[in-house]
């Protein structure tokens, strides 16, 4: 049976947002590729951001991502600092040179924010246009940033879909396969990569090791990062101070376990790194990228696990996230934060349960518990920045994931609601949710506070 690739969920990227920074940069880079292959002698470029991208794009650096992508910036490989540098250069030069041709483009003038158009093909829609000297369109492309840095449109390969005649990939089907074949979810995920995504076992583990290095570096950088995060909230980074305080007063942390305390600090460290525009791994998105590394790092240290065990945890997490993205959504603009931190918690709970030798039924239960208790979670980022509530929410998601794994391990895995049903509920709740709570910064915390900003 076909399942999505774990690497469609776990991808290197830059903060602060997978749908609003990473996706737009990839779309712009693709449009540049189109220009490279076109016969256009030059012209004037214009980009229109619509829906949630127009409403929270400034705080999520969408304009900088689009400008940098049009200049060829690769958000998956280039140094994150390059984003701002390229943007500033472009603002000074007002043009993009490409294969001996010149395209006029001033990001402040030519990136248009259109929050009013309704009936969009997706809440995160981008329209790229090349205009001639008279302002008539010569070339147009529409891109949709559908969550987790995944983009539809242009020459970007379409998102993988269930092969013709195949049933939708469910965790129940995976569970049945594992029980019949006496294997675990990590093994099934590995076989799926080989059978359907053309990756050998060695390639899969090499890529997972690379992702783990980025994830742990993100936490470590976050633990020493100081100063203010970008944006008008002037939010001060706290992870380093929290970590120092924890180390100085270890005995005071008896109220909660050492693991829960560290999960909180590590998740905040990674989420602050993301908010600062640092290098992260989407899990499943940038805004929720602190949950998984925080918990995996604790399990690795606490139980002295080898890197291979962490990679198996990543396989399980990516597998569960792939099903949630395929059958539900991981886009805050589509379903609110239940699709971001909620799915991150489900992925992480499943990984933790697997790494602690839970059965496949317990792994499924852990994922379900974590997702179920995030249903209805809104996305209402203050000032449109991925900071409040996002940073602390990663900590809450990491703790919830540990708790869900614990609950599943304490049980025999028997439960009445399946993970697949929780994913269906996620989608249904997301559809019913007012757009005010779907990454538009038009409701909830976003309109209430804080004072004086
Ligand atoms: S509230 Fe959740 S979904 Fe919204 S930007 Fe923050 S992390 Fe992403």
Q: How far is the CA of 382 from the centre of ligand 1 (A)?
A: 10
pLDDT single digits (tens) 117-153: 999 999 999 999 999 989 999 999 999 999 999 999 9
Nearest ligand 1 atom, CA 390: 6
Task: Output the residue whose Cα is nearest ligand 1's atom 3.
Answer: 337
Tens digit of each residue's pLDDT (9 = 90 or more) over 415-433: 999 999 999 999 999 999 9
Given this model, what pLDDT does residue 40 score? 78
Question: Cβ atoms within 10 A of the Cβ of 26, count?
Answer: 24
Measured from the Cα of 56, ligand 1's closest atom is 5
Confidence label for 253 from pLDDT (cuts 50, 70 and 90): low
CA distance 210 to 437: 35
Q: Within 13 A of 440's CA, how many CA atoms are on the CB side? A: 17
pLDDT attached to residue 160: 76
CA distances from 369 to 177, 220, 349, 354, 419 (A): 22, 29, 8, 15, 8
CA distance 145 to 82: 21
Task: State the average pLDDT over residues 279-292.
Answer: 98
Q: Tell me the DSSP string of 131-168.
A: E-TTS-EEEEEEEEEEETTEEESTTSPPPP-PPTTPPP
From the CA of 285, give the closest atom in ligand 1: 8
* Whole-number Å distance between alpha carbons of 318 and 367: 12
Provide DSSP, 181-194: HT--HHHHHHHHHH
What CA–CA distance (Å, rounded) separates 345 from 267? 12
**Dist. CA 142 → ligand 1 center (Å):** 24
| Phi, psi angles (nearest 5°) of residue 271 | -70, -35
Higher pLDDT, 160 or 314: 314
Report the atom number in ligand 1 closest to the C-alpha of 336.
3
The percentage of residues in the chain with a pLDDT greater than 70, rounded to a whole number, is 99
Across the chain, what does the average pLDDT equal?
95
Please report which residue ranges of 96-138 form alpha helices under DSSP H: 107-110
Contact 42, 101 (CB under 8 A): yes
**Cα separation of 439 and 138, whole Å?**
32
Residue 285, pLDDT above cutoff 80 = yes
Taking the C-alpha atoms of residue 182 and residue 179, their distance in angstroms, rounded to an integer, is 5
CA-nearest of 162, 161, 120, 160 to 143 is 120
Strand, coil or helix: what is 51? strand
Q: For a ligand 1 pocket test, name from 439, 440, 446, 447 the mutation site with the most ligand atoms within 8 angstroms of its C-beta.
A: 439
Give the containing element (helix H, strand E) for 111.
strand 111-114
**Do 105 and 70 meet the contact criterion of CB atoms below 8 Å apart?**
yes
Choosing from 124, 287, 442 the residue with most ligand 1 atoms within 8 A of its CB, the one to mutate for a pocket test is 287
**Ligand 1: distance of its center to the CA of 201 in Å?**
34
Task: Give residue ranges with CB within 6 A of ligand 1.
Answer: 287-288, 332, 337, 340-341, 379, 381, 386, 389-390, 393, 439
The pLDDT-based confidence of 166 (bands split at 50, 70, 90) is confident
Check if the beta carbon of residue 282 is closer than 8 Å to that of residue 148. Answer: yes
Which residue has the CA at smallest separation from atom 2 of ligand 1? 337
Locate the ligand 1 atom nearest the alpha carbon of residue 380 and give its number: 1
Residue 257: pLDDT over 90: no
pLDDT at 286 over 80: yes
CA of 336 to the centre of ligand 1 (A): 7
* 76-131 confidence digits (pLDDT tens): 999 999 899 999 999 999 999 998 899 999 999 999 999 999 999 999 999 999 99
Please return the burial class of 55, using the count of CB atoms within 10 Å of its CB with bins 0-12, 13-18 and 19+.
buried
**Nearest protein CA to atom 1 of ligand 1, as residue:** 379
Please identify, by atom number, the ligand 1 atom nearest to the C-alpha of residue 332.
3
Measuring from atom 5 of ligand 1, which residue has the nearest CA? 386
pLDDT in tens, 366-397: 999 999 999 999 999 999 999 999 999 999 99
Whether the per-residue pLDDT at 230 is higher than 70: the answer is yes
Question: What is the average pLDDT across 266-281?
Answer: 97
């Amino acid at each position: 049976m076909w399942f999505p690739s774990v690497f469609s969920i776990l991808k290197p990227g830059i903060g602060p947002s997978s749908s609003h920074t990473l996706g737009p940069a990839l779309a712009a880079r693709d449009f540049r590729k189109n220009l490279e292959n076109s016969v256009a002698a030059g012209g004037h470029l214009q980009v229109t951001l619509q829906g949630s991208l127009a409403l929270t794009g400034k705080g999520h650096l969408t304009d900088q991502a689009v400008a940098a992508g049009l200049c060829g910036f690769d958000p998956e490989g280039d140094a994150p600092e390059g984003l701002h540098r390229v943007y500033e250069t472009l603002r000074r030069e007002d043009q993009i040179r490409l294969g001996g041709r010149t395209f006029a483009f001033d990001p402040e003038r030519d990136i248009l924010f259109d929050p009013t158009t309704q009936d969009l093909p997706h809440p995160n829609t981008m329209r790229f246009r090349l205009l001639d000297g008279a302002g008539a369109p010569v070339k147009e492309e529409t891109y949709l940033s559908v969550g987790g840095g995944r983009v539809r449109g242009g020459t970007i390969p379409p998102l993988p879909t269930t092969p013709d005649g195949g049933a939708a990939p469910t965790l129940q089907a995976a569970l049945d396969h594992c029980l019949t074949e006496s294997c675990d979810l990590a093994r099934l995920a590995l076989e799926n990569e080989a059978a359907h995504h053309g990756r050998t076992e060695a390639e899969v583990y090499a890529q997972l090791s690379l992702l783990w290095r980025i994830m742990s570096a993100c936490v470590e950088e976050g633990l020493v990062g100081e100063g203010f995060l970008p944006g008008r909230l002037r939010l001060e980074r706290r992870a380093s101070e929290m970590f120092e305080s924890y180390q100085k007063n270890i005995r005071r942390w008896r109220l909660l376990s050492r693991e829960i305390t560290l999960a909180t600090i590590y998740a905040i460290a990674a989420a602050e790194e993301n908010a600062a525009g640092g290098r992260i791994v989407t899990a499943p998105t940038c805004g929720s990228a602190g949950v998984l590394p925080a918990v995996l790092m604790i399990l690795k240290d606490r139980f002295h696990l080898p890197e291979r065990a962490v990679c198996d945890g990543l396989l399980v997490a990516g597998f569960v996230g792939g099903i949630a993205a395929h059958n539900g959504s991981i886009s805050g603009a589509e379903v609110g934060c239940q699709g971001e931190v909620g799915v991150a918690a489900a992925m992480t709970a499943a990984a933790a349960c697997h790494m602690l030798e839970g059965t496949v039924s317990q792994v499924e239960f852990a994922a379900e518990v974590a997702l179920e208790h995030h249903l209805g979670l809104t996305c209402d980022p203050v000032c449109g920045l991925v900071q409040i509530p996002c940073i602390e929410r990663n900590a809450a998601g990491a703790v919830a994931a540990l708790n869900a794994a614990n609950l599943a391990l304490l049980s025999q895995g028997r439960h009445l609601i399946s993970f697949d049903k929780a994913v269906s509920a996620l989608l249904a709740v997301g559809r019913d949710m007012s757009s005010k709570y779907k990454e538009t910064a038009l409701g909830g915390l976003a309109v209430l506070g804080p004072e004086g900003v």
